[in-house]
Amino acid sequence: IMNNIQKILLMVFFMSITIFIITGYIFYSQVRFEFEPSIWKYHKDYVDINTNWLGIIAFGNSIASLVGFFLFKDKK
């Protein structure tokens, strides 16, 4: 049986994993097909630097919520 904190952390985990998968799919489809109008690309001196910051934050958030899920295991 889970307590309220674990339920919230589990919801945050699944939301973050979903955001990570969606942004990863969008990011790699735009890199592969090289669409020019993109919010994910940063142009500087004719070098494309592509960074999926939203996906990185969502992945870190999912790991933090998973760790928190196990840390609050015995608290009621």
- Written as six digits, the tokens of 4 are 């309220």
User: Is the model's pTM score more than 0.75?
Assistant: no
pLDDT at 22: 95
CA dist 21 and 59 (Å) reads 9
In whole angstroms, give the CA distance from residue 31 to residue 46. Answer: 15
Helix (H, G, I), strand (E, B) or coil at 43: strand
pLDDT at 11 over 80: yes
Would you state the pLDDT for residue 27? 84
Task: Tell me how crowded residue 43 is: count the other CB atoms within 10 A of its CB.
Answer: 10
Q: Which pLDDT score is estimated for 50?
A: 75
At 50, list the tokens.
């592509």
Note the pLDDT tens digit of each residue in 21-75.
Answer: 999 998 887 655 555 555 555 555 555 567 889 999 999 999 999 999 999 987 5
